[in-house]
């Protein structure tokens, strides 16, 4: 058996233990698996997963941003350290809020183009400037700005290679962002982001209860159950294996 076949067999065994059949969305397997290949649904008389997946911690009925931080997002220290650094550097609360959620797409949803995904997730609930800044940190991170002491991250050389060149859309969006009146808000995410990886510092989410309270319009019905344009994305994070 190849590594992939072994992984698939293990996964099959795992899903056999569940009361319901789980079929992963294409996005979770594409790349590892050619999405054009037919998907075989195990025919074992079980129903399909249509809501909460018992392998995950259960979310409250009306989940808040903090519930997503605690129960659905992967490592969140990076974002919280960035937010704390922004505070320490005297940034305004919009920047602190933006830093706090700037990488939620990586932590809980989709990695590629994470700035765009994160912006869309929070857009209905934060100030336009906050969402805008999150969207464009994605592109601005690749371009230095000496006026604020921001250099091209050394980590990117390590991650992408010394000769990596961004795609034209990143260049276009960075150029657009540079001309925008909110440029500095987005740039400050990059500035506070860069030095935020410190394994010895431990930040607690409670530190930001007030910042979130003032800058994030938590929907009464719970994130995912309001009628906002991104509610479905929050629902998918809550129920990632829902069949339809
Ligand atoms: Fe980021
Ligand atoms: Fe980041």
Residue 65 has what pLDDT?
A: 98
Q: Is the pLDDT of residue 124 over 90?
A: yes
From the CA of 189, how far away is ligand 1's center (Å)?
8
DSSP H/E element including 21: strand 20-21
Averaged pLDDT, 174-199 = 91
From the CA of 236, how far away is ligand 2's center (Å)?
22
Share of the chain above pLDDT 70, in %: 95
pLDDT interval class at 1 (50, 70, 90): confident
Weakest-pLDDT range from 4-18, 65-79, 108-122, 182-196: 4-18
Residue 60 has what pLDDT?
A: 98
Residue 112 has what pLDDT?
A: 97
**Ligand nearest to the CA of residue 193, numbered in listed order:** 2
pLDDT interval class at 63 (50, 70, 90): very high
From the CA of 115, how far away is ligand 2's center (Å)?
9
Contacts within 8 Å (CB) and 24+ apart, 221-227:
221/62, 222/60, 222/61, 222/62, 222/63, 222/64, 223/63, 223/64, 223/65, 223/67, 223/68, 223/125, 224/63, 225/62, 226/124
Query: Residue 150: beta bridge partners?
Result: 145
**Ligand nearest to the CA of residue 105, numbered in listed order:** 1
**Ligand nearest to the CA of residue 137, numbered in listed order:** 1
Q: Is the pLDDT of residue 105 over 90?
A: yes
Tokens at 15, concatenated = 């899903």
Residue 113 has what pLDDT?
A: 98
Averaged pLDDT, 145-169 = 95
From the CA of 240, how far away is ligand 2's center (Å)?
23
Query: Residue 48: beta bridge partners?
Result: 21
Residue 44 has what pLDDT?
A: 86
């Amino acid at each position: 058996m190849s590594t992939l076949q072994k992984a698939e067999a293990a996964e099959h065994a795992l899903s056999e233990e569940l009361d319901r059949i789980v079929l992963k969305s294409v996005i979770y397997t594409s790349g590892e698996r050619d999405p054009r290949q037919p998907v075989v649904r195990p025919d074992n008389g079980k129903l399909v997963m249509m809501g909460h997946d018992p392998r995950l911690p259960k979310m409250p009925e009306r989940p808040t941003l903090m519930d997503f931080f605690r129960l659905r997002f992967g490592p969140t220290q990076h974002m919280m350290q960035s937010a704390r650094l922004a505070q320490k550097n005297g940034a305004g609360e919009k920047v602190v809020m933006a830093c706090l959620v700037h990488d939620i797409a990586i932590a809980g949803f989709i990695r590629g183009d994470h700035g765009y995904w994160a912006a869309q997730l929070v857009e209905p609930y934060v100030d336009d400037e906050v969402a805008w800044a999150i969207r464009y940190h994605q592109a601005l991170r690749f371009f230095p700005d000496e006026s604020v002491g921001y250099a091209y991250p050394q980590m990117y050389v390590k991650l992408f290679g010394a000769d990596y060149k961004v795609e034209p859309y990143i260049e276009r969006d960075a150029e657009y962002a540079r001309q925008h009146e909110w440029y500095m808000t987005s740039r400050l995410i990059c500035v506070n982001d860069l030095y935020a990886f410190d394994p010895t510092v431990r930040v607690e989410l409670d530190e930001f209860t007030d910042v979130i309270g003032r800058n994030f319009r938590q929907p009464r019905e719970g994130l995912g159950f309001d009628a906002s344009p991104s509610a479905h994305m929050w629902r998918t994070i809550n129920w990632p294996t829902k069949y339809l």
